[in-house]
Amino acid sequence: MSGTSPRPAATGYELLRNPRLNKGSAFTEAERRAHGLEGLLPPVPITLELQVARIHAELASLDDDLQKYLLLSDLQSRNETLFYAVLMSDPAAFMPIVYTPTVGEASQKFNHFFRSTRGVYLPITAQGRLKDLLANWPDKDVRFIVVTDGERVLGLGDLGVGGMGIPIGKLALYTTCAGVPPQFCLPVILDVGTNNPALLDDPLYLGLRQNRVRGEAYAAFVDEFVEAVHALHPTCCIQWEDFANFNAVPILARYRDKVCTFNDDIQGTAAVALAGIYGALRISGQRLADQRFLFLGAGSAATGIAQLISQAMALEGVAFEAAQSHNALFDINGLLVRSRADLADFQKPFALDHAPVSAFVEAVRALRPTGVIGVSTVPKLFNQPVIEAMAEINERPIIFPYSNPTSRSECTAEEAYRWSDGRAIFAAGSPFPPVEIAGKTFVPGQGNNVYIFPAIGMAVFATEASRVTDELFIVAAKAVAEQVTDQSLATGLIYPPQSRILPASLHVAARVAERIFDKGLAGVDRPADIPAFIRSRAYRPAYAKTSLPNLSPAATLNG
């Protein structure tokens, strides 16, 4: 299955400038003669494997991760097959470069380091013509759009049009981690302005120089975007990314039952946290129903995690309202309690009937949680008194500082393990190196959404699902946790190793696809062997064996 429409034969420089078709120095002598490439390349062809080795050597010569990011970005714009061959050759090494934490710095410097364009930019000044702008994208069968408005990029805030680095990076991981074919993926930014004064004053800023549009005008703009996507690409799934809480929650609520869509910050983050909890319980030997969690942060990520935990507890027989009471939230104004008058509607289900508490460590002592989960984007708030209080209450305290990038983490792995005397079950949103305490080495897990959203995407792509439900994220979380080996658990690692992210994601995708078929959400017939079906749909970076004189796309789905 190619999934690509017939393309006219490209020749000469046109061919070398087409990232989907370009093979660079790997074009054979016969291909060079047939397509006007003789003299345009060094005379001796090499293999894809040698090209990958050359890129590895180039990257090894660079000390700065941002420079490595820019090298890979340039490679993606020149030779897509080689780009993915490099990333998939060592995903654990390259994911932190093409996505978090490096993508955060790249997004901050987007306007100053702008290279070749990628994706579609939809400014609100083009309202009424969004369908025309989307139609300018050359690939006419788009199955996935990752879209942001750049207002809450990671933990870095409003980066305006610089937020485009996030959809580009996310979609690279769709392919690298789960084999979603890249020709079906489209990054989009909705430019409604920025409230970042530094950007508005920057002469190199590439976005609209106006304050952000709010209210009904904003909602109408998003409506037009969704309608345009559905009209042009009726089988497309929309992933919402890095929207401010007050937009993220209502956008998901508005469209989740109308189109195939999900919000990774809310649902993907929730699922990877739940997967970490399932893994942690394999270490502690406890039941999910007996857990109590205290969140540092009360935005859409926190409420999304709390909601999914509550749903998972309910599936195990706990009354849903009782399950919700197992999840407490704490923000800048203290513990979320019913007497507070400043709570948003999406926060109110988790407000406790409890006296106000203004210090996080006091909330730990009062509520006695089995785990603390940080989604505050404020570093170092899981301080020594907090970790020590958790260790006093629990034999194996769950410590999940999930804010990223690394500079925003609520604590480091070293701090969590040392302050708990090596008893913490730890995972973070960003990578941390192994920690040795009293002769034992602990391997910190990274609760990265990369374990979830690419696999969900692969399942949706393969099944042509009409909707993405919360239940699919619970299935995905369980499928991630069940792949962690006893050997990994012995070192404290509660997620599968990222070096094996592709087989892990295909396993998760198969589990999710099975539930999609069970629930009647699929747009294709159920195959006899779902895991084999998923594997057959997965992209592998390989140059096609071309039949002259026509040159077919430079990558196949099964290489």
Residue 101 lies in a domain: no
The per-residue pLDDT for range 67-125, each reduced to its tens digit, is: 999 999 999 999 999 999 999 999 999 998 999 889 999 999 999 999 878 999 999 99
Relative to beta strand 144-148, strand 185-191 is parallel
Residue 104 lies in a domain: no
Q: Are residues 81 and 144 in the same domain?
A: no
The per-residue pLDDT for range 409-436, each reduced to its tens digit, is: 999 999 999 999 999 999 998 889 999 9
Output the pLDDT for position 556: 42
Phi, psi of 32 (to 5 degrees): -65, -40
- List the structure tokens of 402: 């999930």
Long-range CB contacts (within 8 A, 24+) of 433-442: 441/491, 442/413, 442/417, 442/491, 442/492
Residue 277 pLDDT > 90: yes
511: amino acid identity, one letter: R
DSSP string, 5-72: ---PPP-HHHHHT-TTT--GGG--HHHHHHTT-TTTS-SS---HHHHHHHHHHHHHT---HHHHHHHH
- CATH at residue 122: 3.40.50.10380
Output the pLDDT for position 324: 96
Residue 100 lies in a domain: no
Residue 559 pLDDT > 50: no
Q: Would residue 140 show up in a list of annotated catalytic residues for this protein?
A: no
Q: Are residues 125 and 72 in the same domain?
A: no
Q: Are residues 327 and 385 in the same domain?
A: yes
Residue 550 pLDDT > 60: no
Residue 245 lies in a domain: yes
Average pLDDT over residues 298-319: 95
Output the pLDDT for position 546: 56
Residue 309 lies in a domain: yes
The count of domains in the chain is 3
- CATH at residue 494: 3.40.50.720
- Give 240's strand partners: 147, 263
DSSP 8-state class, residue 264:
I
Domain boundary among 244, 259, 274: 259
Q: Are residues 450 and 335 in the same domain?
A: yes
Output the pLDDT for position 479: 98
How many CB atoms are located within 10 Å of the residue 438 CB? 7
Q: Nearest to residue 163, comparing CAs of 146, 178, 182?
A: 146
Q: Is the peptide bond before 497 cis (omega within 30 degrees of 0)?
A: no
Domain boundary among 207, 236, 259: 259
Q: Are residues 68 and 189 in the same domain?
A: no
Domain boundary among 205, 234, 259: 259
Q: Are residues 327 and 202 in the same domain?
A: no
Cα distances (Å, whole numbers) of residue 260 to 128, 166, 240, 263, 368: 23, 20, 11, 11, 39
| Predicted model pTM | 0.91
Residue 283 pLDDT > 70: yes
Q: Are residues 253 and 272 in the same domain?
A: no
Output the pLDDT for position 430: 83
**550 or 357: which carries more pLDDT confidence?**
357
Q: Pick the catalytic residue from 99, 205, 255, 495.
A: 99
Output the pLDDT for position 9: 64
pLDDT mean across residues, the chain: 94
Torsion of CA 127, 129, 132, 136, to 10 degrees: -40
Q: Would residue 545 show up in a list of annotated catalytic residues for this protein?
A: no
Q: Are residues 209 and 294 in the same domain?
A: no
Residue 548 pLDDT > 90: no
- CATH at residue 57: 1.20.1370.30
Q: Pick the catalytic residue from 84, 170, 218, 417.
A: 170
Residue 107 lies in a domain: no
Relative to beta strand 293-296, strand 261-263 is unpaired
Output the pLDDT for position 431: 84
- List the structure tokens of 399: 């410590």
The per-residue pLDDT for range 461-510, each reduced to its tens digit, is: 999 999 999 999 999 999 999 999 999 999 999 999 999 999 999 999 99
Q: Are residues 437 and 302 in the same domain?
A: yes
55: amino acid identity, one letter: I
Label each residue of 405-430 as H, E or C: CHHHCCCCHHHHHHHCCCCCEEEECC
139-153, 223-237, 397-411, 504-518, range with the lowest pLDDT: 397-411
Q: For residue 53, what are the domain limits?
A: 1-89+541-559
Average pLDDT over residues 149-169: 94
Residue 180 lies in a domain: yes
d(CA 413, CA 262): 31
Give me the percent of the chain exceeding a pLDDT of 90. 91
Residue 424 lies in a domain: yes
Going by pLDDT thresholds of 50, 70 and 90, the confidence category of residue 3 is: very low
Q: Are residues 243 and 290 in the same domain?
A: no
Q: Are residues 292 and 406 in the same domain?
A: yes
Cα distances (Å, whole numbers) of residue 235 to 91, 184, 305: 29, 11, 28
Residue 547 pLDDT > 80: no
The per-residue pLDDT for range 164-174, each reduced to its tens digit, is: 999 999 999 99
Q: Are residues 344 and 490 in the same domain?
A: yes
d(CA 245, CA 253): 12
Residue 553 pLDDT > 60: no
Output the pLDDT for position 11: 86
